[in-house]
Amino acid sequence: MKQFDVPPFYRSSLIGEIKKKRKLDDPRKKDFKPTQIKVDNLTFLIARHFGFCYGVENAIEKSYKAIKENPDKRIFLLSQMIHNPDVNEDLESHGLKFLQDTHGKQLIPFEELTSEDIVIIPAFGTTVEIEKKLVKKGIEIDTYNTTCPFVEKVWNRSAKLGSTNHTIIIHGKVKHEETRATFSHSSQNSPSLVIKDIAEAQVLAEFILGERELKDFPNTFRGNYSENFDPDIHLNKIGVVNQTTMLATETQEITDYLRSVMTQKFGLKNIKEHMADTRDTLCYATNDNQSATIGLLEESIDLAVVVGGYNSSNTTHLVELLEQKFNTYFIRNESEIIDENQIYSFDIHTKKRILNHNFLPDKKELRIAITSGASCPDKLVDEVIHKIIKLKNLNSKSIQIKL
């Protein structure tokens, strides 16, 4: 695996030691049991996989490389590099400016750009339309294009499906940067439709099976399908790809469900002519982080803390998994922890930051699960751990690590 040149202040000696030991002990990633960090009567259970993935480290490395190599040029980020405010704020502190927000709203007009400017394309990628605008301005977009290879893999798979006349069903959030980019690229090659969950897949199935009138399709999926999409024609041969940060289990559930629907309509012996096998589009890092979080669910734990950006899709799904069983606090960084009793956390359902009381239970033996999203620096996880240790009046020098 490639080693990336990421600024040292994103790293953590404690987390680095844990990850190094786990990699040596379990190189094939077969063990999803958490690591234990014990300090007296306080135990942290750290997910087997968490934090920066390949695509994120690649994006960060290229961003700081752009800063170093272009000291006299204006440097712009097309949108947030990744969904972590600490990372984006640090990049901004080096003079980088955002051209758009995460919803695609223009912050700085493209008209203000010149061919001398540097534009960094984020890990989520961007649309074909924006690429063309930048090229037309004379801006070179390849050197600092940080699009994640696994996102590009989805695009390539979509193109291949398009060449065999498959319609692309994208499991994703229609307003998310990555889904907007994937939709733009897939639409170049074939009819495309975005669905966000199994409920929308079930509605789609009703159109496929003729249980809903096709005239209602445009209103039902308004804004989610490509131009000239004809449900009477384009729902007879499909393939499912995904926004790489979605729940992998949900993508698989949607794929399996739609396969059963297509089997019901066309028969098992004809299924290969109507439904593509797209398991190869799932991101390994998303799978690993989610599997490791599921591993935490098997443990006896008093509460869980998830660290990451509040607009991070992959982090949100880790919260979804953990809150099924534990009191789960989704925090940006250690500053959200006020004291033993109070903590600010983000409610993924109401989309609001709220103040919670009774944060740390008054127990003789306390067990806390910790994980973080793929865009979260290890340093932030380290700081959360050490802040809790300090609040419990324990000595961090007595930390014991157990794999």
* Alpha carbons 13 and 386: distance in angstroms, whole number: 12
Whether the CB-CB separation of 189 and 234 falls below 8 Å is answered with: no
* Alpha carbons 383 and 376: distance in angstroms, whole number: 12
* Residue-wise DSSP of 213-236: -GGGHHHHTTTSB-TT--HHHHTS
Q: How many CB atoms lie within 10 A of CB 31?
A: 13
Active site residue 131: no
| DSSP classification of residue 100 | B
Tokens of 288: 């690993």
Q: Tokens 């690649």 map to which residue?
A: 58
The strand pairing partners of 225, in sequence order, are 193
| DSSP classification of residue 166 | P
Whether the CB-CB separation of 167 and 194 falls below 8 Å is answered with: no
Whether the CB-CB separation of 265 and 208 falls below 8 Å is answered with: yes
| Residue 49 neighbours by CB under 8 Å, 6+ apart | 29, 32, 285, 288, 289, 291, 292
Tokens of 264: 């019901």
Q: Which amino acid is at 162?
A: G
| Residue 107 neighbours by CB under 8 Å, 6+ apart | 97, 98, 99, 100, 101
| Residue of 178, 200, 250, 334 with catalytic role | 178
* Alpha carbons 143 and 133: distance in angstroms, whole number: 17
The residues assigned a catalytic role are 178
